[in-house]
Chains A and B, each alone.
Chain A
Amino acid sequence: MGKIFFFAALALVVVSGLIFAPAEAKLAIHPMDQFIVQPLFGGDQISWYTPTNVTLWMALAVAAVFALLVLGSSRRAIVPGRTQSVAELAYGFIYKMVEDVAGKDGVKFFPYIMTLFMFIVMANFLGLIPGSFTTTSHIAVTAVLAALVFLTVTILGFVKNGADFLGLFWVSSAPLALRPILAVIELISYFVRPVSHSIRLAGNVMAGHAVLKVFAGFAAALGMFSFLPIFAITAVYALEVLVAFIQAYVFTILTCVYLKDALHPSH
């Protein structure tokens, strides 16, 4: 009963907010403006070496990784402090993931995977600072990350296993008649991997930030009832914090899965 009243009151507030909203406030929402790449020091020509906001926020991500993993562990304490605990937690988390998913011989790729994880997680978290620029929301960035993984895995697969790597596409447990069809499907899914790998990360981050921006636009338009969208922004922001970590985790664990396929291609 109380719930019904609550929602009725909420609906009333929303409707009255829409009706009595200041007339001059227009819903001029530009949710994508936050992703524009701009040169840091004026001018509008962007060549490949121009320092842009991409440069700034990537440098901050590098600085954050440095602060956490190098400065945090600089005391080499046997009983770790807070920062060192987090650094060791991250180390143990990724190390265990690589060992569990990719196997013992995947461990030598641990620094490479740790690099990907730390960069993505730091870029995601830095992107959650209001007014910041999220480098991982750009397809160009995630596509390069995914392409690096794809190329590494493919080359590694052929170097390690030679032609046996093609056994990944030849499902020997299926009936012989089905195998060519399955091979085509497996081949397609193999080449879709980098696409989904990159778009998943960029899409999630972009969608979250765009949603936040859209709600912020509502807040600007609703006048005194702006507390409703602000409440929603708070909730979505909490979700985004979770997503920022989970997407980094998913990107990393999929890298491990692909790595396992390259190291042990038997189906």
Chain B
Amino acid sequence: MEGDIAQLGQFVGAGLAAIGSGAAAIGVGHVAGNFLAGALRNPSAAAGQTATLFIGIAFAEALGIFSFLVALLLMFAV
């Protein structure tokens, strides 16, 4: 019984942590969308900023990966 409850907590926690991945997806979408909006306003400046775009996406995504990692740790490692 006790083990079952612990496992329940594990799985629920993993599911909750996985929400973070979705949040990161929103963040990445924001970065890409705003880049596109800016690029359409000033297409000539867009090419020079793709590196910045990828850096922004990488930072936004890293936090989602953290939450995914927490979910994985709860599922398999605890």
A interface residues, Cβ below 8 angstroms from B = 32, 97, 100-101, 196, 199-200, 203-204, 206-207, 210, 246, 249-250, 253-254, 257
Cα distance A203–B64 when bound, in Å? 10
Other than A97-B51, A199-B65, A210-B72, give 11 A-B pairs with Cβ distance below 8 A: A32-B76, A100-B51, A196-B59, A196-B66, A199-B62, A200-B61, A200-B62, A207-B65, A207-B68, A246-B54, A253-B51
A267 to chain B, nearest CB (A): 17
Q: Which residues of B contact A (CB under 8 A)?
A: 51, 54-55, 57-59, 61-62, 65-66, 68-69, 72, 76
**Distance between B66 CB and nearest chain A CB, rounded to angstroms:** 7
Closest CB in chain B relative to A250 CB, distance in Å: 4
Query: B54 contacts A199, CB within 8 Å?
Result: no
A254 to B52, CA, bound (A): 10
A254–B57 alpha-carbon span in the complex (Å)? 12
Q: What distance in Å separates the Cβ of A53 from its nearest Cβ neighbour in chain B?
A: 20
Main secondary structure of the interface of B (DSSP, over half): helix
Residue B55 contacts which of A100, A204, A253 (CB distance < 8 angstroms)?
A: A253
For residue B57, which residues in chain A have a CB less than 8 angstroms away from its CB? 250
Q: How many Å lie between the Cα of A257 and that of B57 in the bound state?
A: 14
Contact A203 B51 (CB under 8 A): no
User: Which chain B positions have C-beta within 8 A of A210?
Assistant: 72
A217 to chain B, nearest CB (A): 15
The chain B residue with its CB closest to the CB of A247 is B58
Which residue of A97, A199, A249 is within 8 Å of B66 (Cβ)?
Answer: A199
* B69 CB → nearest A CB, Å: 6
Q: Which residues of chain A come closer than 8 Å to B59, judged between CB atoms? A: 196
Query: Quick check: A200 and B65 within 8 Å, CB to CB?
Result: yes
Closest B residue to A100 using CB positions = B51
How far in angstroms is the closest Cβ of chain A from B54?
A: 6
In whole angstroms, what is the CA distance A32 to B72 when docked?
A: 10
CA distance A253 to B69 in the complex (A): 23
Closest B residue by C-beta to A32: B76
* The residue from B58, B66, B69, B76 contacting A250, defined by CB atoms under 8 A apart: B58
Q: In the complex, what distance in Å separates the CA atom of A207 from the CA atom of B65?
A: 8
| Inter-subunit contact B55/A254 (CB<8 Å) | yes
A–B complex contacts, Cβ < 8 Å, 12 sampled:
A100-B51, A196-B59, A196-B62, A196-B66, A199-B66, A200-B61, A204-B61, A206-B72, A207-B65, A207-B68, A210-B72, A250-B54
CA distance A207 to B62 in the complex (A): 12
Q: Is the CB of B65 within 8 A of A249?
A: no
Q: Which residues of chain A are within 8 angstroms of B68 by Cβ–Cβ distance?
A: 203, 207
Compute how far the CA of A210 lies from the CA of B68 in the bound complex, rounded to whole angstroms.
12
Measured between beta carbons, the chain B residues less than 8 angstroms from A101 are 51
Instruction: Judge whether B69 and A203 touch: CB under 8 Å.
Output: yes
A211 → chain B, closest Cβ, in Å?
Answer: 10
CB distance from A157 to the nearest CB of B (A): 19
Closest 4 CB pairs of A and B: A203-B65, A250-B58, A196-B62, A200-B62
B51 and A204 contacting across the interface, CB-CB below 8 Å: no
Chain A hits for B54, CB < 8 A: 246, 249-250, 253
